[in-house]
Amino acid sequence: MAAQKSNINAESLLQCINSNRYKKLIQQDQQEAKKLGLTGTPGVVFINNKNNKTIVKQGALSYANLNKFIRSVTDHSILLTH
């Protein structure tokens, strides 16, 4: 089980999942993602607080494409480093 490989207590994880403690929060996140057009992971959501514009990119982006995306939606270049 992945939880065991990650040194997570599998029994505690299952109890948490089965308790539905976070079910409402998860459902709210799913609804918000659906409104944005996200249908799965991975995905990138960029929110420009200056103009309230939201841009969604579905799927994985390579390092180069992520840099290109950030440059295309910002006023200035942001250099991502590994």
Q: Which residue has the higher pLDDT, 73 or 19?
A: 19
pLDDT-derived band at 77 (thresholds 50, 70, 90) equals: low
Beta strands in the chain (DSSP E): 43-48, 53-58
Q: Please, what is the end-to-end C-alpha distance for the chain in angstroms?
A: 30
Domain regions of the chain by residue span = 1-36, 38-82
Tell me the per-residue pLDDT of 5-49, one tens digit each, with 9 for 90 and over: 788 888 888 898 899 989 999 999 999 999 988 888 888 888 888
**pLDDT (0 to 100) of residue 11:** 87
Confidence at residue 19, expressed as pLDDT on a 0 to 100 scale: 93
Say which residues have a Cβ less than 8 Å from residue 61's Cβ, sequence separation at least 6: 44, 69
